[in-house]
Amino acid sequence: MNVEFINPFLSSLINVLATMAQTELTPGKPKIKKDEVARGDVSGLIGMVGPQTKGSFSITFDESLALAIMERMLGERPDGINEEVTDMVGEITNMVTGGAKNLLGEKGYDFDMATPLVVSGPGHTITHKCEGAKIIMPFTSDDGNANIEVSFDKL
């Protein structure tokens, strides 16, 4: 997969969390993901379709990181993952994808975004509905880990 397609998601995630939740993420090393098991406790998944390609993006948070982001954004920290936390993860997924869409649009790629789907629970799965390789990029923070996954057809 073309790095030109992944970097907008990385920079958008870092920007959204720094701006909206004063949370600093440190990127790790990207790799190919072979299974569908999420690497965290709550995930947002969004599909994208355009004239050049179709793909999907997901972000998965450890519960500790999701709760810390919730506290920074809304001033309250729930006891665990609840409906407000899953709504927030869906909104973050939307914001990150929107930011990446703008960056990709500057490079001539255009696509429409679906409504994000949020899944939570131990061992939940993320299914990307495209043929391309799934690239997983880990992030660490003082509050826990996050992982993004990007998969696109024919790039």
Query: Which pLDDT score, from 0 to 100, does residue 26 have?
Result: 96
Q: Where are the beta strands (DSSP E) in 62-143?
A: 112-113, 117-120, 134-141
- pLDDT tens per residue, range 33-64: 999 999 999 999 999 998 887 899 999 999 99
- pLDDT tens per residue, range 114-150: 999 999 998 999 999 888 889 999 999 999 999 999 9
- The answer, yes or no, to whether residue 28 has pLDDT greater than 80, is yes
Q: Domain residues of the chain, as ranges?
A: 3-152
- The answer, yes or no, to whether residue 155 has pLDDT greater than 60, is no
User: Percentage helix, strand, coil, to 5, in the chain?
Assistant: 35, 30, 35
The CATH homologous superfamily to which domain 3-152 belongs is: CheC-like (3.40.1550.10)
